[in-house]
């Protein structure tokens, strides 16, 4: 940063502070503004659309400068944080009125993308995770926290891919490291997740937060995370909960690509929530319930007892309709207890926040009574956590005024009757107005000046104002001390007014100070209940998610699945839950999915647009619904408990990483082949299409045989390679299925219905017709197809062309036909064929 040879004391102070926050915008408090200088000013002016000015304009090297009013700074800070920047808040920590020389300033908080506590950067239905990763050999310790809720968890993994998957699942906003991570992992994090990277030394030790963790590397990650929070927030963080250790293999595992392909929480096309499983299931009534729902979707259970406990709770709510309606109404009155607790501990809560807390806690007895009234054993454990905090409700009700303002430093926060001294001050302020009115009437009577008035301003205090024409009428001018001269009047103070002024101003000043002190005392008392408040919040969130499951299950006629350990899968009339919601129940065509203990692979054939991918996603979403404890869209369902889901669905070219469709296919396939077990679910959609036909077919067959022989996992494998359908004669645990279609008078109707056996035709030309390709081209394609089928020869062989067909084409069309006959289809990928067809289409149209 450029500096002049000799700096002013203020700029010397600025530089001494800025050197410790080189990676952050320094908001330097000057009076009623936060000022930014040099590079900070130039960047902020551009990002925030501020006017860039300069300090010492007449100097040889003026200092670039811009600023924002302190009372409006929050919006500007939010904008910077949302764009991935950090902001250091530098405040005046001394009163300028009582300080000689330079006012002392300090950074009181470093706000970063992972440490946001409020503002537009914090979305009510989403967690805001800050994650620490520490590497030791091949192992990684991971710890993450949501500062706004106090949640903290940690784990240890031994695979780079798992680290990335955890970070992607958390959608972490900021990553804390002590040492650089491997380049490949860092690149994936930056490109895919866009997380801010921050470095933190590990010297600082943590007291208590990691006591329950025995894994050394996980403990180190917690220490790293907490050290960063302490360094950036610079205050007590009493709401941080002791870190909980978890193991990734205690939940159903899905890698980044599987979650992406299945659109669990984010739609592929829009990147938004709409059209996802989360969108379908979210009938929660509280923000904290919505966040817990997402956590459950990201981490389905694999313990049968835990799954069935949730199912029983959902069933009990499903059958108790009126109680569920009352429960939903009570939940609507519950504010975000998790984040309220965080703000209380953080010290940035106001009177209205405490009123929200009181109102929320007043709903708890009703929620407790409703759950107790359902009277099912599976609710017993949860009921013990639904404990009303009567002491907190009583304290807030007694202390906080019902119309408390947003500001806590301007009075009217504390209720009348809570503190006798405060009541006395307020009485003095009320009487003061009467005293002033009486003094004004007395002065008018004694002087005979009818327009004499008593007034007040912040600079001169109270005064008696007399027009200059009436000053001669003062009978006792010695009583009046001049305070201010105006154009047409003079302002005076008298001994009586001075005495009243002292009483009134003292009452106002001391009243405000006392109110603030009383509010802080109330806040500190509420703070003692944070642990109980967080336990209550977790219980209410769980109730909220379970009622959401019951509501959805009733609305769409879902059924409770039976879970088994015998590898039996039997879904009768199953539906894709999201597609069904979009299309409507009357429009959706249901399908069975049956795989007994002896069936490992379903080989699915059929044309594009017929529903193969939907069928495969349908199974995966049904499994996830079942293992988060929800009912499933089917007439009946029996499911094994899966430990992992692997998918290869859709052409998700990783163009950012410079990888082709085929490379992505092989990488995703390898994930399954390397890590799948007999208890896993594998979904491969048209694997091998990214390379030449014979290569793709050979790889597809080899992969099928490998899964059948060595993994024996439940697998749905769709393909356009009809030659593979003969594998059912060689592989005892493979069955053929196809999507039905009806052809009538040259038109094809896809039934979207799964049928036993292989498809007899691909109907590719019919799909091309639906896509709108030119009629002449489709006619020619039919001729070529018929010739190939009848002669059973290489695509390179010459195909006789009927004269009458050729006569239909002009020169450009003739050229296209000649190109068609010369193509070596066996050496082309489907994508290359599509590009060629697009080229022909353009030529024919032009």
Structure tokens at 125: 């239905």
- Count the Cβ atoms, other than its own, within 10 Å of residue 654: 16
Strands 489-493 and 481-485: antiparallel
Stretch (H or E) spanning 225: helix 216-233
First to last CA, the chain: 59
**CA–CA distance, 62 with 833 (Å, rounded to integer):** 63
Q: Are 165 and 257 in contact (CB under 8 A)?
A: no
Q: 819-825: list long-range contacts, CB under 8 Å, 24+ apart.
A: 820/780, 820/781, 820/784, 821/784, 823/795, 824/795, 824/796, 825/693, 825/795
Torsion from C-alpha of 342, 348, 353, 354, nearest 10 degrees: 80
696 is in an annotated binding site: no
Q: Are 522 and 289 in contact (CB under 8 A)?
A: no
417 is in an annotated binding site: no
Distant-in-sequence, close-in-space partners of 660: CB < 8 Å, separation ≥ 6: 653, 690
DSSP state of 209: T
Torsion from C-alpha of 599, 600, 606, 609, nearest 10 degrees: 120
Of 546, 637, 620, 606, which is closest to residue 577 (Cα–Cα)? 620
- Look at residue 645 and give its three-state secondary structure: strand
The residue behind tokens 């799948």 is: 676
Distant-in-sequence, close-in-space partners of 356: CB < 8 Å, separation ≥ 6: 335, 340
606 is in an annotated binding site: yes
**CA–CA distance, 721 with 604 (Å, rounded to integer):** 10
Structure tokens at 90: 């530098």
At how many degrees (to 10) do helices 811-822 and 775-791 cross? 30
609 is in an annotated binding site: yes
Residues in the chain: 846
- Count the Cβ atoms, other than its own, within 10 Å of residue 261: 25
Of 233, 222, 131, which is closest to residue 185 (Cα–Cα)? 131
Q: Are 218 and 92 in contact (CB under 8 A)?
A: no
Most distant CA pair in the chain: distance in Å? Answer: 129
- Look at residue 68 and give its three-state secondary structure: strand
Distant-in-sequence, close-in-space partners of 715: CB < 8 Å, separation ≥ 6: 600, 601, 602, 681, 682, 683, 684, 704, 707
Q: Are 116 and 174 in contact (CB under 8 A)?
A: no
611 is in an annotated binding site: yes
Q: Are 648 and 685 in contact (CB under 8 A)?
A: yes
Structure tokens at 690: 């990214």
Q: Are 716 and 683 in contact (CB under 8 A)?
A: yes
610 is in an annotated binding site: yes
Of 755, 726, 728, 729, which is closest to residue 741 (Cα–Cα)? 755
Distant-in-sequence, close-in-space partners of 82: CB < 8 Å, separation ≥ 6: 113, 120, 121
**CA–CA distance, 123 with 537 (Å, rounded to integer):** 18
319: left (phi over 0), alpha (psi -120 to 50) or beta: alpha
**CA–CA distance, 169 with 298 (Å, rounded to integer):** 7
Rounded to 5 degrees, what are φ and ψ at 48?
A: -95, 0
CA 378 to chain centre: 31
DSSP 566-634: S--EEEEEE--HHHHHHH-TTT---EEEEE-TT--EEEEE--TTSSHHHHHHHHHHHHHHHHTT--BSS
**CA–CA distance, 110 with 87 (Å, rounded to integer):** 6
Binding-site entries for ATP: 606-613
- Which residues are documented as binding site? 606-613
């Amino acid at each position: 940063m450029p500096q002049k040879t000799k700096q002013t004391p203020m700029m010397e102070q600025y530089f001494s502070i800025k050197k410790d926050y080189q990676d952050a915008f320094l908001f330097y408090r000057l009076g009623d503004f936060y000022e930014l200088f040099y590079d900070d000013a130039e960047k902020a002016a551009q990002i925030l659309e501020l006017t860039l000015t300069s300090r010492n304009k007449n100097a040889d090297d003026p200092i670039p400068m811009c600023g924002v009013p302190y009372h409006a700074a929050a919006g500007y800070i939010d904008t910077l944080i949302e764009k991935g920047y950090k902001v250091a808040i530098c405040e005046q920590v001394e009163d300028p009125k009582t300080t000689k020389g330079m006012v002392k300033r300090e950074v009181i908080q470093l706000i970063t993308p992972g440490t946001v506590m409020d503002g537009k950067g914090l979305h009510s239905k989403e967690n805001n995770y800050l994650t620490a990763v520490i590497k030791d050999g091949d192992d990684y310790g991971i710890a993450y926290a949501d500062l706004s809720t106090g949640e903290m968890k940690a784990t240890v993994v031994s695979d780079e891919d798992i680290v990335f998957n955890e970070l992607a699942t958390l959608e972490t906003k900021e990553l804390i490291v002590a040492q650089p991570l491997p380049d490949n992992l860092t690149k994936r994090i930056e490109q895919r997740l866009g997380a801010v990277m921050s470095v933190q030394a590990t010297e600082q030790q943590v007291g208590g937060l990691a006591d329950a963790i025995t894994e050394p590397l996980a403990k180190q990650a917690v220490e790293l995370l907490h050290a960063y929070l302490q360094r950036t927030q610079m205050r007590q963080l009493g709401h941080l909960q002791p870190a909980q250790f978890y193991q990734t293999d205690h939940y159903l595992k899905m890698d980044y690509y599987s979650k992406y392909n299945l659109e669990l929480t984010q739609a592929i096309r829009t990147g938004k929530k709409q059209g996802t499983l989360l969108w379908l299931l979210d009938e929660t009534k509280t923000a904290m319930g919505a966040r817990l729902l997402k956590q459950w979707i990201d981490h389905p259970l694999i313990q049968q007892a835990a799954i069935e406990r949730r199912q029983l709770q959902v069933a009990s709510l499903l059958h108790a309709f009126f109680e569920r309606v009352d429960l939903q109404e009570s939940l609507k009155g519950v504010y975000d207890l998790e984040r309220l607790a965080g703000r209380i501990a953080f010290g940035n809560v106001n009177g209205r926040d405490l009123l929200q807390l009181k109102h929320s806690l007043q709903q708890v007895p009703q929620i407790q009574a409703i759950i107790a009234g359902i009277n099912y054993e599976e609710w017993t454990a949860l009921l013990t956590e639904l404990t009303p905090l009567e002491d907190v409700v009583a304290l807030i009700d007694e202390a906080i005024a019902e119309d408390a303002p947003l500001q806590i430093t301007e009075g009217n926060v504390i209720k009348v009757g809570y503190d006798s001294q405060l009541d006395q001050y307020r009485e003095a302020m009320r009487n003061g107005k009467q005293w002033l009115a009486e003094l004004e009437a007395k002065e008018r009577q004694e002087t005979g000046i009818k327009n004499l008035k008593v007034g007040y301003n912040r600079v001169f205090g109270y005064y008696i104002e007399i027009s200059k024409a009436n000053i001669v009428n003062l009978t006792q001018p010695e009583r009046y001390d001049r305070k201010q001269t105006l154009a047409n009047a003079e302002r005076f103070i008298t001994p009586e007014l001075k005495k009243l002024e002292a009483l009134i101003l003292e009452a106002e000043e001391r009243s405000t100070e006392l109110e603030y002190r009383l509010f802080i005392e109330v806040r500190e008392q509420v703070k003692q209940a944070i642990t109980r408040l967080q336990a209550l919040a977790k219980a209410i969130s769980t109730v909220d998610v379970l009622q959401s499951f019951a509501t959805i299950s009733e609305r769409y006629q879902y059924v409770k699945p039976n879970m088994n350990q015998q590898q039996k899968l039997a879904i009768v009339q199953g539906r894709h839950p999201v597609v069904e919601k979009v299309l409507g129940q009357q429009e959706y065509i249901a399908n069975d999915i049956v795989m007994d203990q002896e069936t490992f692979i379903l080989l699915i054939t059929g044309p594009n647009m017929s529903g193969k991918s939907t069928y495969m996603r349908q199974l995966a979403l049904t499994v996830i619904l079942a293992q988060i404890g929800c009912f499933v869209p089917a007439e009946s369902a029996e499911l094994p408990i899966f430990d992992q889901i692997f998918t290869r669905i859709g052409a998700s070219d990783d163009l950012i990483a410079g990888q082709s469709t085929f490379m992505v296919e092989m990488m995703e396939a390898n994930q399954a082949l390397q890590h799948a077990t007999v208890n896993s679910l594998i979904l491969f959609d048209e694997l091998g299409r990214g390379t030449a036909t014979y290569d793709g077919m050979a790889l597809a067959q080899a992969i099928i045989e490998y899964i059948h022989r060595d993994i024996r996992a439940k697998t749905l494998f769709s393909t356009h390679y009809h030659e593979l359908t003969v594998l059912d004669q060689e592989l005892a645990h493979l069955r053929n299925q196809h999507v039905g279609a009806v052809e009538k008078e040259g038109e094809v109707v896809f039934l979207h219905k799964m049928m036993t056996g292989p498809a007899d035709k691909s109907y590719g030309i019919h799909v091309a017709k639906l896509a709108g390709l030119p009629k002449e081209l489709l006619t020619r394609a039919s001729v070529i197809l018929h010739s190939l089928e009848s002669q059973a020869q290489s695509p390179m062989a010459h195909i006789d062309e009927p004269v009458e067909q050729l006569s239909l084409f002009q020169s450009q069309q003739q050229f296209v036909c000649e190109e068609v006959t010369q193509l070596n289809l066996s050496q082309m990928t489907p994508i290359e064929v599509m590009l060629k067809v697009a080229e022909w289409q353009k030529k024919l149209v032009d």
